[in-house]
Amino acid sequence: MVARIWAGTDIGKTHHHCVALDSEGRRLLSRRVLDDEPELLTLLSEVLALDEDVVWAVDVADGMAALWINVLLNHGQHLVYIPGLAVNRASAGYRGMGKTDAKDATVIADQARMRRDLAVIRPDDEQAIELRILTSRRADLTADRTRRTNRLRHQLVGIFPALERVLDLGNSGPLILLSGYQTPAALRRTGRRRLESWLRNRSVRSADLLAQAAVEAAERQHTAVPGEKIIAQVIHTLAKEVMSLNEQISEIDKLIAARFREHDLAELITSMPGIGPLLGAEFLAATAGDMSRYGSADRLASFAGVAPVPRDSGNVSGNLHRPRRYHRGLQRVFYTSALISIRSCEESRRFYERKRAEGKRHIQAVLALARRRVNVLWALIRDGRCYQAELQVATAA
């Protein structure tokens, strides 16, 4: 597109600031606008009145920018994205030491005017948007569960360290146990047989082993710690909260799997060893399954953070590091699936072992495998075919 105007928008929670520049970098318009559809439509008409050939740029690609982005896309506008970190660093090269919304919007517009490597924002299909929302919600729930589990461990080790050592709080059985018993004295009074029966009535697996381990831990501690009673109540509450979060995560996993299987690329993506419905949904949430956005497998690998970048200086060369800017969710997809494929796929295991034999550390070998898998998945989506072992060999060659 040959543009004659570049309009940059500094995104805010309640208001945005838009600046329009001409081909010489002269400011044609600078306006603060409420994040409200009538106001945004007025701004759009004002900019288009200056010239119809406009390239729009934003520094936020979702969330509080969603309404403005969809207004632009629904009116057929060309929209690019420049990360906030890039805007922050670029602004140091502009006149003035202060920071204002107007200056940031000017930097966004000017960077869009000068650069040709910015990502183009395109409308996503409804399925990709739903998967993005669901996977984001799952990430929030998982983070909440991790925080509460860590708090639970911290409280438990404060009054009953012997029990904390023998419990795996990643399983439901120990959580059920802590919802009913939190102190050594309570476990000793109950005894192993009654505790085992109590656990069995709540459908706990290996109730006999868990009851035995808990009572043995109680027999090793006869000292009551100050504040034990109130801490026990906190442990009871935290255990219930973690159990509730486990149920919510289980429900959203079912919803994600159902939405993912409805996507046209679902069968193709899950044909790759190591990628199931959850990782496949996260891949679609990050890319929408549209490989044309990246141009090549190399750009997708860079976006996913599995392609090392050089950091040379002077006589130092060949110094490769992980890129500083990449999509962490997409990196998790390729890295985690690579780990799983080492156990489930003979070709992946041989590749990993070869890299280890070359002297690479574990993480380096897994990242090398993840980088290779980007090429394979790219080829699968490009050709519209499911994974075959010989395809991976041919792609690597």
CB atoms within 10 A of CB 159: 24
pLDDT at 389: 61
With CA atoms as reference, report the closest residue to 5 among 37, 62, 53, 42: 53
pLDDT at 318: 60
The residues that bridge with 17 in the sheet, in sequence order, are 10, 32
Alpha-carbon distances, residue 81 vs 78, 85, 108, 121, 378 (angstroms): 11, 12, 9, 7, 23
pLDDT at 303: 85
Q: What is the pTM of this model?
A: 0.81
- N-terminal to C-terminal alpha carbon distance within the chain: 37
With CA atoms as reference, report the closest residue to 163 among 103, 213, 89, 101: 213
301-340 residue pLDDT tens: 888 888 877 666 666 666 666 666 778 889 999 999 999 9
Q: Is the dihedral of CA 305, 307, 313, 318 positive or negative?
A: positive
CB atoms within 10 A of CB 21: 22
Contact between residue 256 and residue 138 where contact means Cβ atoms under 8 Å apart: yes
Please list the ranges in the chain whose pLDDT falls under 70: 1-2, 310-324, 389-397
**Residue 53 token pair:** 């050939």
**Residue 106 token pair:** 């000017």
CB atoms within 10 A of CB 181: 25
pLDDT at 394: 47
Residue 305 amino acid letter = G
The single-letter DSSP state of residue 125 is: P
With CA atoms as reference, report the closest residue to 199 among 221, 176, 227, 218: 176
Measured CA to CA, the distance from residue 18 to residue 109 in angstroms comes to 9
The single-letter DSSP state of residue 397 is: -
On the 0-12 / 13-18 / 19+ scale of CB atoms within 10 A, 390 is exposed
Polymer length in residues for the chain: 397
pLDDT at 397: 44
Centroid of chain to Cα 350:
29
What phi, psi does 218 have (nearest 5°)? -65, -35
Measured CA to CA, the distance from residue 250 to residue 246 in angstroms comes to 6
The residues that bridge with 316 in the sheet, in sequence order, are 313
Q: Is 60 strand, coil or helix? A: coil
pLDDT at 153: 96
DSSP-assigned letters across all residues of 357-391: HTT--HHHHHHHHHHHHHHHHHHHHHHT----HHH
Place of tokens 């656990």: 199
CA atoms within 13 A on the CB side of 32: 8
* Cβ-proximal residues to 66 (8 Å cutoff; 6+ apart), any chain: none
Measured CA to CA, the distance from residue 231 to residue 149 in angstroms comes to 15
With CA atoms as reference, report the closest residue to 323 among 314, 313, 333, 331: 331
